[in-house]
Structure 1
Amino acid sequence: MDQLADAELAAWLAAFRENPGSPARTAGAAAIRSGQRQRAAARPAGPDLAEVSDRNIDEVAVRVYRPAESRATIVYAHGGMWVIGDLESHDRACRLLAEATSATVIAVDYRRAPEHPWPAAVDDVVTVLRQAIEAGGPVFVMGDSAGGTLATLACLRLRDEGAALPDAQILAYPNTDLTLSRPSTRTKAAGWALATDDVAWGAELWVPDPARRADPRVSPLYADLHGLPRAIVVTAEHDPLRDEGDEYADRLQRAGVPTLHRCEAGLVHGFLTMDLVSPACAAAARRLFTDLTTLSEGSGGD
């Protein structure tokens, strides 16, 4: 087996390979969502904050995480193949993020496929991001996995409209190519926590027309990236999405967008929500939070 970052992650992955569960196509969205909610409920809660509240922003449901002192705002889009994931699946991660960065985190409970295919989720993130920018102060948009797709598509939408942009886009192991044509989707296709075919299933539900999956309004890797906000892009070595994330970071840099890019050695997709599984995953999340804090301090935060 290719080397993993620590013994805890190796043991977790070995157990996963022994009992990987049903493929997403077989299980279906409802069953996967139910299982994910049960796992989230069993997970220890994240840190207490000055405020954690659910509300609506122009009819988009959000959860606001506010530390005692807030120097910036992070609009957060969760991962989940555009089909699963919700406020509960990423509650602990958002609490840790708010505490570590001293930023107010606004987690977007965006509409998911198959009930709401593209562009509903992008519309929801744009709505929340636009209001956060209008409110003033340093504003960042952040997403992991499919949420990374939404974060950068929201930036592209605002840029194309000539609207104000966030100060930065922060992407953890993002989907950037719904055609799933990069080499790592084959070399890491199965046995590494995220299966390429599960991602393909999600892409098919979110964008049913295969001809549209290379559309730059769907797959940011095919977009003109000039004029986007600066970026932090962190990928994982043993992730089928690694190559498209790495290539997106490279294309940002070639388009003149200041970009911090790191590929975390020995880690798998999803490490941001695996801090209780592996010290190496927890350390990678802290590195990303530190990167964001440094960015915030350079953006005029107090």
Structure 2
Amino acid sequence: MPKVLELVQPKLEAAALRGIFALPRPVRRLIAGPPIRLDDQELALDAQLLLKLQKLRGHEQLAAATPELARAAMRQGTRLTSTAPVSGVVVADRQIPTANGELAARLYRPRELTGTSPLLVFFHGGGWVIGDLDTHDDLCRFLAKHAGVRVLSVDYRLAPEFPFPAALDDSLAAYRYAVDNAAELGTSSDAIAVGGDSAGGNLAASVALIATRSDLVAPVFQLLIYPAVDATARRRSRELFGNGFLLTDEDMTWFMDKYQPDEALRADPRLSVLLAEDLSGLPAACVVTAGFDPLRDEGEAYAARLAEEGVPVISRRFPDLIHGFANLRTVGDRFQEALFEIVGALRAGLSLQKT
């Protein structure tokens, strides 16, 4: 019987979640509570309702007693928010050879896309400790279908079993693999972009910087969704939004202690990309931030530095949203609206590279 309950309970919780978000707006507002306003921003009702439900379930943090428990919790959260897979997307498993063994990966292609197209090499978020191909499957399907591109999602090694720079080494190897095998992947070496969310945004930014400064072909575009770019400083947004908005101050400390436990080494520009001496000549970028996100200010500081050094950049803050909203598309309409805008920026950015 316990095994049966383990299978049934997530389905019941998922159905309950969808039912609550389908309620009339006044009822959802009653459940969520009065609007939350902070730093001249008002939190979206969808985000506030989700946070309230998480609090009721006792799941207010991403960190846990062990990395294994945190990973399991993220997988469970993914199951709760999952719906039918995005239609019209062909998915194929891949194995990427590296000096440290093979990396699992997935290649996504819109079904109607039969010719060559740009390719987005995507690195998932999760503080370099949690997250995998499954937790970001919906996001990658969505990006592929609505941007009309191929997406290669990479399952890099996680900390603390593999601390910095293992995840970055894997990400660079995956990018090099995409460049070297561009034709077989349905693209060309001069049409490959990098992207990721949170820790994955950090990896994408680092790959773009290292590739541009090395013998690698540089990416044509960077899609950085609420990226972590400075492991050395506490900015105002971390003080304002470090408690109660999904990603907490304690979470951030826990993740970084697992990924790079030596504080003296956190200024390494391969980790703290914002601290790199020279950002000129990097690929055009779209830097997305969320208003109620402790990572907001460092992401926007990175976008500002890119612009100051002559890099074409779109800096877009969604002032009413929280960290992680790109993985919440199936929960609330506001999250999907934001994701459609991100897709538009990706499509436009890649199109401009052709001119």
TM-score range, shorter chain: over 0.9
Go from structure 1 to structure 2 and tell me whether the alpha carbon gap of 1:57 and 1:211 turns closer, same or farther (over 3 Å shift).
Answer: same
Match of 2:195 in 1: 142
Of 287-296 and 153-162, deviating more is 153-162
Which AA in structure 1 matches 2:169? D
Does the 8 Å contact 2:129/2:259 carry over to 1? yes
The correspondence of residues 243-282 of structure 1 with structure 2, limited to 5 A, is 243-282=297-336
Of 334, 339, 343, which residue of structure 2 is paired with 1:289?
343
TM-score by length of 2: 0.80
What's the RMSD between the two structures over aligned residues?
Answer: 1.8
What is the distance in 2 between the residues matched to 1:25 and 1:80?
Answer: 10
Go from structure 1 to structure 2 and tell me whether the alpha carbon gap of 1:90 and 1:128 turns closer, same or farther (over 3 Å shift).
Answer: same
Which AA in structure 2 matches 1:14? K
Match of 1:12 in 2: 50
Go from structure 1 to structure 2 and tell me whether the alpha carbon gap of 1:207 and 1:5 turns closer, same or farther (over 3 Å shift).
Answer: same
Does the 8 Å contact 1:212/1:218 carry over to 2? no
Match of 1:186 in 2: 239
Partner SS for 1:243: helix
Q: Does 1:112 align with 2:158?
A: yes
What is the distance in 1 between the residues matched to 2:344 and 2:214?
Answer: 32
Q: CA deviation at 1:40?
A: 2.4
Match of 1:57 in 2: 96
- Structure 2: unaligned runs, 5 residues or longer: 1-35, 183-187
1:92-147, Cα deviation, whole Å (9 max, x unpaired): 11111100011110000000101111111111111121232342251110000000
Go from structure 1 to structure 2 and tell me whether the alpha carbon gap of 1:132 and 1:268 turns closer, same or farther (over 3 Å shift).
Answer: same
The correspondence of residues 147-226 of structure 1 with structure 2, limited to 5 A, is 147-223=200-276, 224-226=278-280
Q: CA deviation at 1:48?
A: 3.1
Greater relative contact order (CA < 8 Å, ≥ 6 in sequence): 1
1:181-233, Cα deviation, whole Å (9 max, x unpaired): 21111111100111021011111111111111122121111012122111000
What is the distance in 1 between the residues matched to 2:219 and 2:153?
Answer: 15
Does the 8 Å contact 2:64/2:70 carry over to 1? no
Go from structure 1 to structure 2 and tell me whether the alpha carbon gap of 1:101 and 1:22 turns closer, same or farther (over 3 Å shift).
Answer: closer
Go from structure 1 to structure 2 and tell me whether the alpha carbon gap of 1:26 and 1:40 turns closer, same or farther (over 3 Å shift).
Answer: closer
Larger Rg: 2
Percent identity reads 39
Go from structure 1 to structure 2 and tell me whether the alpha carbon gap of 1:277 and 1:24 turns closer, same or farther (over 3 Å shift).
Answer: closer
Q: CA deviation at 1:24?
A: 5.1
Partner SS for 2:133: coil
Of 141-150 and 39-48, deviating more is 39-48
Does the 8 Å contact 2:62/2:246 carry over to 1? no
Go from structure 1 to structure 2 and tell me whether the alpha carbon gap of 1:232 and 1:23 turns closer, same or farther (over 3 Å shift).
Answer: closer
Q: Displaced runs of 4+ in structure 1, greater than 6 A?
A: none
Match of 2:72 in 1: 34
